[in-house]
Structure 1
């Protein structure tokens, strides 16, 4: 078990979930304020998606990301920004012609996915390591797209978080490492319990951990009611943890959570196990992050 654990707070995600929980941040100010608040609660990383301030739905607009990032960086609170680069991969086969994208399809090229990252240079960004049946749609990320995106991330100097939704995606991520497309010690994130990816249970987490390259850093999260069990299991197995309203809207059954509630709860749990949350600066040093120029 780690005695010093990196806590990531995934603040909002891409889904339109505000109608289910009023605490889900949507506007740039709300998202930035939550990033600052979770840092004070013990998180060292804020994982950020942008939302359309008017509709609450997903936004790929670099200007929205810029406002979030600038608000966080201009605050007096230290927090590492982990920006999603996995948007624009949703494919819903058309009802009349499955060769055409139906309602809900949202596809971007690797260059479009990378644009906000390349412009704003967060310390970390996600790199989704394959395609997946994602509920009743398909998340598309063919091998050639992933290689191109990995090259763009590498050229930017941002550290990729290799998001793996199943064991085959770990194989592909390891191939990227082997080909020299991932610099330094790789950082993996196991995404568990998402229909229809890897199960959210200890056996699956151990299997995925056992397939990692030697010396890799890793964390894991579960969605919904699996959030806290998977976070604790990750800590016990030597990994790091992620919680937040992107993955789970409840503190416990019937009790809606805020991002701070979720971070407070997991910090209390890992402290009860004899561990401590890692500070942002200690996290930078551990992960060998390149701090963006001009950031305090």
Structure 2
């Protein structure tokens, strides 16, 4: 069975939490190519400003990374969204500003997939909670979710749903059905060993998510992933149930010293041990096509 393997190269952490993550355009291109050669069919990334070390959602940077990777390897490459918290999410123009890079990339025909996170959560680690620290709030108001889905319909890219809590799945499925022309989403179940959201990476938790998916969006593609998580114990479970796998320094426990290509190679070995094989990007597109092919 072909299993999609996604490599999430860096995430929003900065090198303070993930010192091995790629940062510059050149580093991200090189890492994406290496991950593709190791067996990943899908590459996800955050663009950064090398001068400050902070995330910078610049469409030209994203375009350079996407085109740089795809010029060498045939893989699906897609960017993130800006992290929004507090009142910033509700200010005039916030929705348009948040999706500005996605819209620009969509107009250029560079997007096959795109991030749409259908819900909001308190983002706090177990260690922070034990010290009575509040953490932050990751906000995705309904207007933001719908903006992403309408852009997916307009530009033909597949919404990649991060399912942090069960309600994300139910809302995301309902909204995707309500937006005419929206491609069917991919449901990425987010597990964690470090954060308080959702479930730990346990088989009972995967079973619960799959039962809900069967009710809300039967037959939809899904994968196991997370933040601050060792997803390896769920790889065989995912393969046995017909799912897919995401790995990488965005998802891995903080301070992971293993580079992204080695994480992908390990995932490939675990998939093969479970009786699967890594899918090519062409097989992903055939199984779950975007509405429009990339340029």
Distance 1:189 1:41 in 2: 21
Correspondent of 1:81 among 77, 80, 94:
77
Taking the TM superposition and a 5 Å limit, the aligned residue runs for 1:62-211 are: 62-73=59-70, 75-85=71-81, 87-91=82-86, 109-120=94-105, 121-135=110-124, 136-181=135-180, 183-193=182-192, 195-200=195-200, 201-211=202-212
Q: Does 1:26 align with 2:23?
A: yes
Q: Which has the higher helix share?
A: 2
Distance 1:246 1:126 in 2: 14
Which has the larger displacement, 228-237 or 271-280? Answer: 228-237
Q: Map Cα deviations across residues 222-264 of structure 1 (whole Å, 9 max, x no partner).
A: 33352212333322322100000111158xxx97100001000
Q: Map Cα deviations across residues 27-65 of structure 1 (whole Å, 9 max, x no partner).
A: 011011111110000000001111121222211222221
SS class of match (2:11): coil
Give the drift of 1:71: 1.6
Distance 1:7 1:125 in 2: 16
Q: Is the 8 A contact 1:221 1:231 kept in 2?
A: no
- Give the unaligned 5+ runs of structure 1: 92-99
Q: TM-score, normalised by structure 1?
A: 0.85
Q: Structure 1 residues 249, 52: CA separation in 2 closer, same or farther (over 3 Å shift)?
A: farther
Aligned pairs, how many? 274
SS class of match (1:185): coil
Give the drift of 1:281: 0.9
Q: Which residue of 2 aligns with 1:267?
A: 268
- Give the unaligned 5+ runs of structure 2: 125-134
Q: Map Cα deviations across residues 52-99 of structure 1 (whole Å, 9 max, x no partner).
A: 2122221122222122123223x32111112213x23133xxxxxxxx
How large is the Cα RMSD of the aligned pairs?
A: 2.3
Distance 2:52 2:179 in 1: 41
SS class of match (1:221): strand
Q: Structure 1 residues 149, 186: CA separation in 2 closer, same or farther (over 3 Å shift)?
A: closer
Q: Which residue of 1 aligns with 2:235?
A: 231
Q: Structure 1 residues 41, 130: CA separation in 2 closer, same or farther (over 3 Å shift)?
A: same
Distance 1:202 1:106 in 2: 38
Q: Which residue of 2 aligns with 1:48?
A: 45
